[in-house]
Every structure is written in structure tokens, then in C-alpha cells.
Amino acid sequence: MTLNCIIIDDEPLACELLASYARKTPFITLRGTYNSAISAMKDIRNTPVDLIFLDIQMPELSGIEFARIIPKETKIIFTTAFDQYALHGYKVNAIDYLLKPISYNDFIMSADKALEWFSSLKNKTNDDGNRFIMIKSDYKLIRISLDDILYIEGQKDYVRIYMNNGEKIMSLINLKTLEQHLPEPEFMRTHRSYIVHMDKITVLDRLRIVFGNKHIPISDSYKDNIMSYFDKHTLS
């Protein structure tokens, strides 16, 4: 499992240090660094991440204030030079709280806590008795078996779930939230707008997955993970 993360810190040296730690951590993919919470806000809304290493004392918008407005699915590890903020971290459900100067050992231990949290969330659906999700659709609560899902398309704040039998179920939930409740690598993100049930794929045409007349793109951000999955099953 890989966690997508960003780093927000108004101190360039501190930001670059954490970035160097992230780049050498195998289960962390660094999606960007920012010198303020405001500069990160638009990107977070357009492309959500799993984890933010977030400084607390910053101009205009503090890390504590920023933590209150990001999606609840995004987890935070606070980084600060002041230990009096620890209580605030717990109030916004932070994964951990790192006190500067931060060593790589400190960093990797906190990152591992985050990985354990996300892994536990995904594993909730891995047991045979829990191979389903409950989705709200048209004022109803619908039980959907994981085995019946073909692929899922994200449409802003909605998802459309395409089933094996041709049925389509729409729900007011974002793709990132739903992704966290699906087991990997059985379900994998292929594009910012698509999650695919990998066991259902029968045709791969260049960088497109083919389901009948539907061609699902594989974007550069997810290409390596998807092609690595197929390489394991490809006869040379």
C-alpha cells in the first residue's frame, strides 16, 4: 500500500528536509510541497491526498485552522517547534505530532502509524463475511457485493457504480472516500475519476481498460502501479 502525501511548511529548510525523508520512504509518494496552507488549498480540493505533514505556526492560515477545513478522510501529522500545540492535534484527529528538529527515525515512525491506520481501514472489507459495502442512493441504503462491482466513476461529489449486470448506482460520496473502503489490489485507481475491479478486466488496449464499449483511461499518475499489476500476470 502507498500513501500519497504533501508537505506544508513556511520554512523552506524544514520543508525540504521532510521532502527528502518522504522521497526515501518506500510507502510514501510525495505529491507536492507548499509554503502555506492557502497555496495548498486548491490542489487538495482538486486532487485529495491521504496524508499531510503540516506545520502549525504559519501566516494567514495556521495548520490547526487548515486541519479543520480539509476532508475528514485526509489524515494529518503535525510538525512544529512548539510542544504546547499537542492538545490541538488530538482535537482535529491528527495521526501524530512531531516536534522539530525532526529526525528520519521520528518521521518514519509517524509515517508508519499512518500506514497502519489506512491499512486497517482497507482490511475491514477483506474478510469473507464483510465483502460488501452499504451505499446511500435515492434516499435508500443499498447493499452492494464487492464481487458484483465492475468499475466506479467519480463525478465531482458523486460516484457512479457500474455493476456486472449492467445496473448503475449513483451515490452522493466522493471517489476518495469510497476508495478507502475497498480492498487493494483487488480495486485500484487507474485515473483521478476511475476505480476498477482488477479481477474483472479482460482486455487492456494500450493505456485503456476495455469494458464493452467503455474505455477507461490509465493516467500517468497511476500507470506504474497498474502496469506492475499486469506484469505479474503476463506471459513473456
Same domain, 106 and 162: no
Residue that has been written with the C-alpha cell 486532487 in this structure: 47
Same domain, 87 and 166: no
Same domain, 23 and 110: yes
Specify whether the CB–CB gap between 181 and 161 falls below 8 A. Answer: no
**Whole-number pLDDT of residue 71:** 78
pLDDT in tens, 120-167: 766 654 555 568 888 988 778 899 999 999 999 998 889 999 999 999
Band of residue 89 on the pLDDT scale cut at 50, 70, 90 = very low
CATH number, domain at 204?
2.40.50.1020
Last residue of a domain, one of 81, 100, 123: 123
Same domain, 7 and 113: yes
Same domain, 184 and 106: no
Mean pLDDT of the chain, nearest integer: 86
How far, in Å, CA of 131 to CA of 217, rounded? 27
Domain membership of residue 173 as a residue range: 130-231
In a domain, residue 223? The reply is yes
**Whole-number pLDDT of residue 86:** 46
* Residue 67 cell numbers, joined: 486541519
User: Into how many domains does the chain fold?
Assistant: 2
Q: Highest mean pLDDT range out of 22-36, 71-85, 119-133, 175-189? A: 22-36
In a domain, residue 134? The reply is yes
Band of residue 83 on the pLDDT scale cut at 50, 70, 90 = low
DSSP for 181-217, written as a single string: TS-TTTEEEEETTEEEEGGG--EEETTEEEETTEEEE
Same domain, 18 and 67: yes
**Whole-number pLDDT of residue 37:** 92
Same domain, 108 and 147: no
**Whole-number pLDDT of residue 87:** 45
Can you give the pTM of this predicted structure?
A: 0.55
How far, in Å, CA of 90 to CA of 106, rounded? 18
How far, in Å, CA of 76 to CA of 6, rounded? 10
Last residue of a domain, one of 78, 95, 123: 123
Cis peptide before 183 (omega within 30 of 0): no
CATH number, domain at 31?
3.40.50.2300
Lowest mean pLDDT among 79-88, 116-125, 170-179: 79-88
**Whole-number pLDDT of residue 123:** 62
Same domain, 173 and 70: no
The 3-class SS string of 121-171 reads HHHCCCCHHHCEEEEEECCEEEEEEHHHEEEEEEECCEEEEEECCCCEEEE
In a domain, residue 204? The reply is yes
Contacts 24+ apart (CB under 8 A), 31-35: 31/4, 31/5, 31/6, 32/6, 32/7, 33/6, 33/7, 33/8, 33/9, 34/6, 34/7, 34/8, 34/9, 35/8, 35/9, 35/10
> Given a cut of 80, is residue 236 above it in pLDDT?
no
Widest Cα–Cα separation across the chain:
59
In a domain, residue 236? The reply is no
